[in-house]
Amino acid sequence: MSRIGSYPVHIPEKVEVSYKDNVVTVKGPLGELTQEIAPSITLEQEENQLILNRATDSQDDRARHGLYRSLIKNMIEGVEKGHTIELELEGVGFKAEANGQLIELGLGFSHNIYMQLPEEVKVEAKTERGKTPYIKLTSADKQLVGQVGAKIRSMRPPEPFKGKGIRYKGEIIRRKAGKSAAE
């Protein structure tokens, strides 16, 4: 049984949390996020801690208890520090350029791929000679930055033979041997 929901959530000094009509709003230096919460979950704020309580011990309420606690914790962390995802482009001739919210990817296709990113996501892309090109995505919303990172990775996922493609920084790709010599 998970006990994540029973742990209190620490609220830093710079962050302000409000709860009204089953909607939690978190404001901080990096922005404002909102999350709707099921009516069976209630919030109590004591000094600099937020405590979540559930109405019953049904399976749905227990699952939501931990879920909403994690979502609120990620919202607080996001508006205070932000969430970052870094992607590496591994392959000959692969490149990435960012012009505002438009990112241009050269991934070995016959054409470049242009992708418009949401305003909430800040993007930084570098392609230096002799180094692996990378893309750095930053946002207060963890779900949004993860979704954008996954969408970019899906343009050219890493393949198991040469390891070419877009991968998360530090991701290990299981390699296959390929064809053996016929002798």
Asked whether residue 180 is assigned to any structural domain, the reply reads no
Distances (CA, A) of 12 to 19, 78, 90, 142: 17, 12, 39, 18
Asked whether residue 178 is assigned to any structural domain, the reply reads no
| Token pair in block for residue 8 | 């209190």
Q: Tell me, yes or no, whether 97 and 76 share the same domain.
A: no
- pLDDT at position 33 is 94
- pLDDT at position 3 is 84
Q: Tell me, yes or no, whether 120 and 131 share the same domain.
A: yes
Q: Tell me, yes or no, whether 94 and 55 share the same domain.
A: no
| Token pair in block for residue 104 | 């241009």
**Structural domain containing residue 71:** 4-80
What is the spatial distance between Cα 34 and Cα 23, in angstroms, rounded to a whole number? Answer: 7
- Mean pLDDT score of the chain, rounded to an integer? 91
Residues of the chain with pLDDT under 50: 1
Domain count, the chain: 2
Q: Which of 80, 108, 142 is the last residue of a domain?
A: 80
- pLDDT at position 178 is 81
Q: Which of 47, 80, 113 is the last residue of a domain?
A: 80
- pLDDT at position 181 is 55
- pLDDT at position 183 is 54
CATH number at residue 164: 3.90.930.12
Asked whether residue 181 is assigned to any structural domain, the reply reads no
Q: Tell me, yes or no, whether 60 and 10 share the same domain.
A: yes
Burial tier of 1 (Cβ tally within 10 Å: 0-12, 13-18, 19+): exposed
